Chains A and B, each alone.
Chain A
């Protein structure tokens, strides 16, 4: 089974490339600080060194003489941490609400779905901005805010899965065997929701990284954290003379988000082989 999964995933070459790029980003975040020990806040050298000017600062330095490469490495960890934890939060909330609505049905379903609809109506990014502004910018509030706006799509997906699984024979067999409701939900239904949730989750990580970058760009990031969005925002002031300061972190965001989208597509093909691709 596991082998079959990888073999199906491997057929999508773009997805393999995406996995490679994403692996490189993870490696940068984990190994980068060990191999390249620059402090992203240290005023390390002359300001406005262009990339390639000096070998010891491969990507140059910013308006205050801070090492761009050190910032980039630090930013990788920040983006991944926020992307993954915010998605985990969204998956947790969404699964709970979706499973309750889909499995219990009736008025519980009605109320929960109306609740979900309210959250889906509010423009996500503006909602995140409001939440972070009210509760003061920090990594924790950023993660929570992104989690709070992202769960509705997971809830809808899990609900739809529960609704269709509930009527399937193997679940009815469990009912006939006298299995308890909660055991059926945990052992039979939720594991079968896993595949589509993983696909949606991988794309959600990408979106969360984009949202975090947008927040940091607007100046709503954690003030004690060097992130890619903040670097782009800082570089904006010297766009005319040193556009590389904004360009480089943007490429990092683009590659990370692109790789996650490709991985999501590959997982979709591998996990739902019955769906044909066009």
Chain B
């Protein structure tokens, strides 16, 4: 049964990817001016014959359906096109920058998940107490704070005023002699951007965890656990938490996409050399191939994470039926 479920979900995922690819293609064609216009404009010569030759070379003179077919075929071979600014295949460019973004996202996700879990459980165990109210107000504030602004304010406080942490980049050039020193250096650079990106999601997780815990704490099996004479802490962490954590996993899948968007602004604020910064550079050089490549790749990652969440969910909660 699990196998059939997986096959069906995979088929759905492939359809979604193809739809997004077609959308990408349409966007590229709706854009005012194509690659040839840009190149011809740069060469300074708008010679009609040269332009026609270029169009032929890039296949832009063919009917649109043929162009779409060619585009999809090259995507199927993992060819995301050519970045005319970097003089490099887009796929290669993206791969180079994927690592730092994944590191940033994993770190923030860890902070957000752990922080949200602890804060949410704490708030639910003392519902309507002072601690609960303070946590709720902080979560509301974090939920309304623009990420880029938070990042700048953290730079003002921790870098400019206190001088504790570096303001940007991923490592200090030429500073690290050993691998351990290098890892520590990257970690120091990671703290501010990861915290910035994490706070918004931590707020979401805190609120979700609190609601979910309150719901579970009211259920019969928890009352049974209390009746057995178990301590409140043990019931909360051992018994209630396991079920209350399930919605967090779902939301994780829903939020990957928004996480990517957040990473763009955070990477720009902190000069973190990942995909977000690459997208930022692509915007101002009007490198549409590169920009659309990033859009497609991030969408694919969203699909993969959602598949993983689905599978994880069936493991975590055996009550879920796959069909």
Judge whether A220 is part of the interface by a CB distance below 8 angstroms.
yes
Closest chain B CB from A120 CB (angstroms)? 8
Q: Per-residue CB proximity of B45-56 to A under 8 Å, as 1/0?
A: 000000000000
* Known contacts A218-B283, A250-B153, A261 near B144 by CB under 8 Å: yes
For B279, the chain A residues whose CB sits under 8 A away are: 126, 129
Check if B314 is an interface residue, CB within 8 A of chain A: no
* In the bound complex, CA of A229 to CA of B257 (Å): 22
Tell me, yes or no, whether B288 is within 8 Å of chain A by CB.
yes
Residues of A contacting B156 in the complex (Cβ-Cβ under 8 angstroms): 239, 243, 246-247
Size class of B's contact patch? 35 or more
**A200 within 8 Å of B (CB atoms):** no
A243 to B152: give the CA distance in the assembly, Å.
9
Asked if A210 contacts B211 (CB within 8 A), the reply is no
B302 touches A253 (CB 8 A): no
Known A-B contacts A214-B265, A218-B265; the reply to A121 vs B160 at CB < 8 A is no
CB of B295 within 8 Å of the partner chain: yes
Size band of the interface chain A makes with B: 35 or more
Q: Looking at chain B's contact residues, is the secondary structure mostly helix, strand, loop, or mixed?
A: helix
B261 close to A (CB within 8 Å) = yes
Determine chain A's interface SS by DSSP, over half rule.
helix
8 Å CB interface, B153-168 against A: 153, 155-156, 160
Contact of A232 among B19, B143, B149, B214 (CB under 8 A): B149
Within 203-222 of A, Cβ neighbours of B (below 8 Å) are at: 206, 210, 213-214, 217-220
Bound CA span A117–B152, Å: 34
Q: List 27 A-B contacts (CB under 8 A).
A: A114-B15, A114-B19, A120-B257, A122-B298, A123-B295, A124-B257, A124-B261, A125-B258, A126-B298, A129-B279, A129-B283, A133-B283, A133-B291, A134-B288, A135-B30, A214-B261, A214-B265, A232-B146, A243-B160, A250-B152, A253-B149, A254-B141, A254-B149, A257-B146, A261-B140, A261-B143, A278-B214
Binding site for A on B (CB under 8 A): 15-16, 19-20, 23, 27, 30-32, 127, 140-141, 143-149, 152-153, 155-156, 160, 210-211, 214-215, 256-262, 264-265, 268, 279-280, 283-284, 286, 288, 291-292, 294-295, 298-299, 302-303, 306
